[in-house]
A and B are shown apart, each in its own frame.
Chain A
Amino acid sequence: MRTTRQDNHETGICVSCFERLSEYIDNELGDSGCSEVREHLEQCVCCSACYKTLKKTIELAGCQEDAPVPENLSNRLKQILFLN
């Protein structure tokens, strides 16, 4: 029932899940923590949406293209040995 889920938010289960989402995504929770979060995500649409958007955010942030080193910088770097 939706109402029970709303109660969860108030009892802090959601807060505790929300706090650990990054560790869950990074596989840094111990076995028990990990299954706690996983079980909660299966039941709670709100936390599950948070989890999915957070996961996508991390993926997107990791996909940024590299800029090439400007030529003038690369020339400056060639002089480093002479600056020392």
Chain B
Amino acid sequence: MTRQNLDDEDRQLIDSIRLGERGLFQRIVEKYQTRIYNFGLKICPTAQDAEDMVQDSFINAFKYMKDFRFEMTFKNWLYVIASSVCHKMKRKSRFAPERELSLEEFMPSEKDRVKTEPPEWAMEPVDKLLSRELSEKIREAIAGLPTDYRLVLVLRDIEGFSTEETANILHITTANVKVRLHRARLFVRGTLKEYYENDPAR
């Protein structure tokens, strides 16, 4: 199904739910639970928190559906809700160090500047690189990001939203999305660099 078809289907479902067919909400849940749950696994500190987040998000979506005006697609609106539930959880439990990342900390060091070739891993196809261990490393790196950066990276690079959609979901400017995304990516890149440099045989 194309994106437009998916959005049209949502619109019909939502119209019917609002007209009283509450049972159709289950279709919405089935359609989006895997996406929202996996989003939660990347953003929340534990799998249990992710489960609670998913439940709260759908409860809120159901509750506030009457106020939803299609200013954005339903899917994007669901991510607005999920992101805000994540934010509230963050205030309750401080799981990742909340700090600002600066560009300077990721600038190439003098020793990097002497190298002439990009590392081998940068040249290999992804399917050749991907292993359970590497996936675990990437997950850890993302989990180590401050929440505001993690949200942007996950929405952009994993959930596939555009810069503008991400800005709307998080209620921040597109310039802010770009700044946070670049630093978050550099942060993850740093972890991967280290991973490969520590064991050149990888």
When distances are taken between beta carbons in the complex, the residues of chain A under 8 Å from B142 are 61
B126–A77 contact, CB under 8 A?
A: no
Point out the residue from B22, B62, B108, B129 that lies within 8 Å of A60, measured CB to CB. Answer: B129
Point out the residue from A15, A46, A57, A67 that lies within 8 Å of B113, measured CB to CB. Answer: A46
Given the interface contacts A57-B185, A81-B23, does A69 sit within 8 Å of B63 by beta carbon? no
Number of A interface residues, CB 8 Å? 45
Q: Which residue of A lies closest to B132 (CB)?
A: A65
Chain A binder among B8-16, B72-80, B84-92, B116-124: B116-124
Given the interface contacts A61-B138, A61-B142, A65-B135, does A80 sit within 8 Å of B59 by beta carbon? yes
Binary CB contact string for chain A from 41 to 84 against chain B (1 if under 8 A, 0 otherwise): 00001101110111111111111111111101110111011011
B58–A77 contact, CB under 8 A?
A: yes
Given the interface contacts A60-B130, A69-B33, does A15 sit within 8 Å of B189 by beta carbon? no
Closest chain-A Cβ to B174's Cβ sits at a distance in Å of 9
Given the interface contacts A60-B192, A67-B38, A73-B51, does A9 sit within 8 Å of B25 by beta carbon? no
How far is A26 from B177 in the complex, measured between Cα atoms in Å? 12
Q: Which residue of A lies closest to B104 (CB)?
A: A15
When distances are taken between beta carbons in the complex, the residues of chain A under 8 Å from B117 are 45, 49
Closest chain-B Cβ to A55's Cβ sits at a distance in Å of 8
How far is A53 from B130 in the complex, measured between Cα atoms in Å? 15
A60–B134 contact, CB under 8 A?
A: yes
B188–A61 contact, CB under 8 A?
A: yes
How far is A76 from B158 in the complex, measured between Cα atoms in Å? 26
When distances are taken between beta carbons in the complex, the residues of chain A under 8 Å from B33 are 69, 73-74, 77
Q: Top 4 A-B pairs ranked by shortest CB distance? A: A22-B182, A49-B118, A52-B122, A57-B189
